[in-house]
């Protein structure tokens, strides 16, 4: 028992706001805590299943919802760290525990006595006078059992167990391979003459990176703050080509090859779906989405393709003509696109990242983004250095509303590290729920991969990084402002094609003068961002909007192609990809590159048969922001209505019901087309 007593996960946290005591947690604590959490959860579930009393909403559905908190505590800490601060030991534990967790989950969902009780309550639902939130919880619980095989024959239940156990492990290994392949590549340049065009601050960061690895020269890698500026600014076409190929062949061939894992994942998902009586995996997944079915997804993708493709092709011609005018006697290739696009944008609008970055110093941007939440929702942020964090760069904030009520803990983690996967995301260490009159508040985390400070300047963000911050912060507001009774319905626990709406909505403020004026000052001079520079940002807002839309659509088509397979996949991954997204491709296809093998979103990130949701949610966010534009971008009544009808409600009701309650009508794609300049205002 000494192990148990010394394991921080297995006793109540004696910490500020019950936050995770990261300073006391060691790698060896995870496995025993997982196993003890599963043991306790199993006991709780058995008590519910063996209850001799008539099944009720309280003693069955609510009891199941409240069960498993000890397990949730270790799961949330562990899986957030395997994304943000992993190591070989954690990766090994993840592989070890994945099949045990699959087995544990199956033991619960395939428990016949338990499902019988759930079904009794479900069959009586119309007589129970439940609140909308209780009704949603009941439907979700029943659906979870059915979708996890509760109604299958004994033989099929065994197949389901086998498939899900293998699937969980394959998805985990896919993500691990992408991270290892990303970390495995470096481009060391020792001749500065080859680095013309690259801004001084990017060069300084590359030199600092080289020194940190005891190397001479300038070190570039595949992390966002290194790769993206190199592709935008490096004059050396051969080096751009080299870096592009490295990026687009991650996890393709070699030690971390994901091709066989893709075949395995796609086939296992299909087998699960067909076991459940669906024709393919997309039909199975879309059952719990706003889109509802494949036809509606393809309708959206096709409608947007038709609207944006002429614009995209015209943009490609513009960039090609511009490149030619600058002496490029070749067809613009994918490794040329960002380079010439950036120069054309600068020529057209006289605006570029190097002009803007001095006004987007990270600490000021943080104040601006937090300040936006203050203006819209009355939130206040107070840094707390007593809260333990999982890495020295992470900060923790207490969040309060306008009345002084404690709302949440917010962790921020801004910079790339070898243990952190690429991209940006919001997650939670604990969700929000109410029980016995107590509102248990969430612990939210924002994780980014932004450029670091250097010896000569603080961390300065690009405009894209500013919008990324706003995007993820939108997710965090969905979590922090949650006001639900049940954790599984709170915060961002909504349909996948609704979850991106509050985040994408926040991006709209990035080009608004009234917002930028509040925080964007030059980090050296303190001078406010000039009005003409903001006007240029606004004017360039729709630069290459057609190309960007088709790029997103291509990912959506690729995702749907993988998940509308009707037979186990045994073909060639690269050939399949090329065909799947061909109609949305704009630049030449490069032999020997592959997106699918590094497509974390759909093969290990929960967006399977769901990547379309970024465009689905963009239609919604444009429609919502049109209300803010009409009433004022800081209008208190609009913000209050959005908070009360959408942000606070989580997944407690169907998203279309919540949306119409705020908007008064169903969304149309018109607001998006108008915002992007594809369609004229009425």
| Catalytically annotated residues | 472
- In whole angstroms, give the CA distance from residue 616 to residue 501: 8
- In whole angstroms, give the CA distance from residue 353 to residue 220: 19
CA distances from 366 to 8, 373, 395, 473, 543 (A): 32, 11, 12, 10, 26
DSSP per position, 266-328: HHHHHHHHHHTT-SSHHHHHGGGSSS-SHHHHHHHHHHHHHHHHHHHHHHHHHHHHHHHHTT-
Q: How far is CA 31 from the centre of its chain?
A: 27
Query: Packing angle between helix 496-507 and helix 463-480, nearest 10 degrees?
Result: 130
First to last CA, the chain: 72
Bridge partner residues of 406 (DSSP): 400
Helix (H, G, I), strand (E, B) or coil at 445: strand
Q: How many helices (H) and strands (E) does the chain have?
A: 28, 9
Bridge partner residues of 301 (DSSP): none
Q: Which long-range contacts (CB under 8 A, 24 or more apart) does 238-246 make?
A: 239/187, 239/189, 239/194, 240/335, 240/336, 240/339, 241/333, 241/335, 242/187, 243/187, 243/335, 244/334, 244/335, 245/335, 245/590, 245/592, 245/593, 246/185, 246/187, 246/222
List of residues 6+ apart from 508 with CB closer than 8 A: 621, 625, 628, 633
Helix (H) or strand (E) holding 383: strand 380-383
Going by C-alpha positions, the residue among 531, 503, 498, 495 that lies closest to residue 516 is 531
List of residues 6+ apart from 565 with CB closer than 8 A: 266, 270, 280, 281
Query: Packing angle between helix 545-563 and helix 294-325, nearest 10 degrees?
Result: 140
List of residues 6+ apart from 505 with CB closer than 8 A: 474, 621, 624, 625
Helix (H, G, I), strand (E, B) or coil at 381: strand
- In whole angstroms, give the CA distance from residue 525 to residue 584: 45
Pairing of strands 406-413, 443-447: parallel
Going by C-alpha positions, the residue among 23, 396, 474, 453 that lies closest to residue 209 is 453
DSSP class of residue 236 equals: -
Q: How far is CA 430 from the centre of its chain?
A: 17
- In whole angstroms, give the CA distance from residue 222 to residue 224: 6
- In whole angstroms, give the CA distance from residue 479 to residue 607: 19
CA-based R_g, the chain, Å: 25
């Amino acid at each position: 028992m000494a192990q148990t007593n010394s394991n921080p996960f297995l006793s109540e946290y004696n910490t500020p706001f019950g936050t995770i005591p990261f300073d006391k947690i060691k790698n060896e604590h995870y496995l025993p805590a997982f196993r003890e959490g599963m043991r306790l959860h199993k006991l709780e579930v058995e008590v519910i299943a063996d209850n001799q009393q008539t099944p009720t909403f309280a003693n069955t559905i609510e009891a199941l919802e409240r069960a498993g908190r000890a397990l949730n505590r270790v799961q949330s800490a562990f899986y957030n760290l395997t994304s943000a601060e992993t190591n070989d030991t954690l990766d090994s534990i993840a592989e070890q525990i994945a099949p045990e967790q699959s087995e544990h989950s199956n033991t619960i969902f395939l428990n016949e006595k338990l499902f019988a009780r759930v079904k009794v309550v479900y069959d009586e639902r119309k007589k129970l006078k439940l609140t909308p939130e209780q009704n949603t919880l009941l439907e979700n619980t029943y659906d979870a059992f059915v979708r996890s095989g509760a109604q299958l024959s004994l033989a099929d239940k065994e197949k389901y167990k086998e498939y899900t156990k293998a699937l969980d492990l394959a998805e985990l290994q896919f993500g691990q391979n992408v991270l290892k392949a990303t970390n495995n590549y470096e481009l060391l340049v020792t001749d500065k003459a080859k680095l013309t065009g690259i801004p001084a601050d990017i060069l300084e960061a590359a030199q600092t990176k080289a020194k940190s690895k005891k190397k001479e020269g300038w070190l570039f890698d595949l992390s966002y703050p290194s790769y993206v500026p190199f592709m935008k600014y490096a004059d050396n076409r051969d080096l751009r080509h080299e870096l592009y190929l490295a990026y687009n062949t991650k996890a393709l061939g070699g030690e971390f090859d994901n091709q066989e894992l893709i075949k395995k994942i796609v086939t296992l998902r299909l087998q699960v779906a067909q076991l459940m009586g669906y024709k393919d995996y997309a039909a199975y997944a879309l059952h719990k989405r706003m889109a509802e079915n494949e036809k509606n997804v393809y309708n959206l993708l096709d409608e947007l393709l038709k609207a944006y493709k002429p614009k995209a092709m015209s943009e490609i011609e513009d960039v090609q003509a511009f490149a030619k005018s600058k002496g490029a006697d070749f067809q613009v290739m994918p490794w040329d696109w960002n380079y010439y696009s950036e120069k054309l944008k600068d020529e057209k609008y006289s605006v570029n990242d190097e002009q803007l970055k001095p006004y987007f110093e990270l600490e000021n941007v943080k104040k601006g983004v937090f300040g936006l939440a203050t203006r819209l929702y009355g939130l206040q942020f107070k840094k707390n250095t007593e809260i333990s964090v999982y890495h020295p760069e992470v900060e923790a904030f207490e969040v309060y509303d306008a009345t002084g009520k404690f709302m949440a803990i917010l962790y921020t983690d801004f910079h790339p590290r070898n243990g952190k996967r690429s991209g940006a995301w919001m997650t939670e260490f604990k969700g929000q729920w109410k029980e016995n009159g107590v509102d248990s508040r969430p612990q939210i985390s924002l994780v980014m991969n932004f450029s670091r400070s250097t010896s000569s300047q603080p961390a300065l963000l690009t405009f894209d990084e500013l919008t990324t911050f706003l995007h993820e912060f939108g997710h965090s507001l969905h979590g922090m402002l949650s006001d639900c009774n049940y954790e599984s319905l709170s915060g961002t626990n909504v349909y996948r094609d609704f979850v991106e709406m509050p985040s994408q909505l926040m991006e709209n403020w990035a080009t608004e003068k009234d917002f930028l004026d509040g925080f964007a000052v030059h980090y050296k001079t303190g001078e406010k961002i000039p009005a003409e520079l903001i006007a240029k940002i606004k004017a360039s807002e729709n630069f290459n909007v057609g190309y960007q839309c088709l790029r997103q659509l291509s990912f959506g088509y690729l995702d749907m192609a993988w998940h509308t397979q009707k037979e186990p996949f045994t073909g060639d991954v690269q050939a399949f990809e090329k065909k799947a997204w061909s109609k949305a491709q704009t630049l030449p296809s490069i032999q020997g590159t592959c997106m699918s093998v590094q497509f974390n979103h759909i093969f290990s990130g929960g967006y399977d048969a769901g990547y379309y949701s970024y465009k689905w949610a963009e239609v919604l966010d444009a429609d919502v922001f049109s209300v803010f534009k009409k009433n004022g971008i800081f209008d208190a009544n609009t913000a209050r209505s959005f908070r009360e009808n959408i942000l606070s409600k989580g997944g407690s009701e169907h998203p279309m019901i919540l949306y119409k309650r705020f908007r008064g009508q169903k969304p149309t794609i018109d607001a998006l087309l108008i915002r992007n300049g594809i369609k004229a205002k009425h």
